[in-house]
Amino acid sequence: MTTLKLQNIFYSYEKGKFILSNISAELEGGKLYAVLGSSGSGKTTLLSLLGGLDTPTKGEVLFNGENITAKGLEYHRRNHISLIFQSYNLIDYMTPIENVQLTAKQDALSVLDRLGLKQDEISRNVLKLSGGQQQRAAIARALASDAPVILADEPTGNLDEDTAGEITAVLKESAHIFGKCVVVVTHSGEVAKQADVVLEIRRGHLKERNR
């Protein structure tokens, strides 16, 4: 079972001023985690540390017991992590299928089909798709890479309620059916409701919220 472990993590942008302070947590595959917190509380920073986009000031991030810096952060990002962003971050000169094919280890067409994108939509320029379609394409890209961990930063932030619900369902399915460890940073109470575990960052500390 995949585990992503935060071990005594400290992070500061300024010397002595820690945005994350002595955070420890163990995240498992097959579960959907929601990370809540007010703006500027350090949610995205936490996601960056988990995704190997940044390194902690102090402490370690372990993937299956191994420090993610051991083989390099690039290796960690390439092999263990898939990122989903609020602004989709699709490559604008590629079609959805080409975006998915960028790092696909699975059949891109079937993943897109599973996420409900039609044949004519997958070969259209991504900028000509709706927000929901773009986010579906972004999630398809994350799923097709076959990474064991999916990190999503406000994935429903730009979407209407119905589409947000559909996207949350897809993420939940990824965790429960495909065994992925899905970590979603969100402000959305609806997403938090669907999560298996809700974590909250408050004053630099991470706590599991009782449900």
Partner 1 sequence: MSIFKRAFLYVTRKRGKTILLSAILLIMATFVLTGISIWKASEAAQLNLRQRLGGRFNIHVDWENSPYVVKEIIKDNEFDEATGKTSNSFLLYSTVQLTPEDIAAINSVPGVKYSGARYGSLVRFDNLSLFPGTVSAAQELQHRTKVFGVCCTETDDLFTTGTLTLTEGQHITSEDRSVAIISGDLAERNELHIGDYITTHIYNPEDDDFTGEEMRVQIIGLFTPNVTEQPGETVTIFDKIQNCIFVDLQTAIKVNDDKINYGFSAVDVTIDDPQNMEQAVSAVKNLPVIDWNAFTIEPDNEVYEKAAAPLAALNELVVILLAVIIVVSAVILALILTLWTKTRIHEIGVFLSMGIRKSAIIGQHLTEVLLIAVFAFGLSHFTGNVAAGQIGNHLLEQRVQAEQEDNSSFAAAVEADADIPIQKTLPTENGIQVSVGLDSLAMIYLIGFVIIIVVVSISSITVMRLKPREILSQMR
Residues of this chain that bind partner 1 (CB under 8 A): 48, 51, 53-54, 73-79, 81, 83, 87, 89-94, 98, 101-103, 125, 145
Least distance (Å) between residue 211 CB and partner 1: 31
**Residue environment code for 107-124, b if the CB has 16+ CB neighbours within 10 A, otherwise e:** ebbebbebbebeeebbee
Given the complex with partner 1, which of 3 and 101 has the nearer CB atom? 101
CB hemisphere CA count around 89 (13 angstroms): 13
CB of 189 to partner 1, least distance (A): 23
- CB of 146 vs partner 1, minimal distance in Å: 12
Q: Kindly tell me which of 126 and 198 has the beta carbon lying closer to partner 1.
A: 126
* Alpha carbons 195 and 197: distance in angstroms, whole number: 5
157 touches 187 (CB < 8 A): yes
Radius of gyration from C-alpha coordinates of the chain:
17
Rounded least distance, CB 208 to partner 1, Å: 26
* C-beta closer to partner 1: residue 51 or 155: 51
Tell me, what DSSP letter sits at residue 129?
S
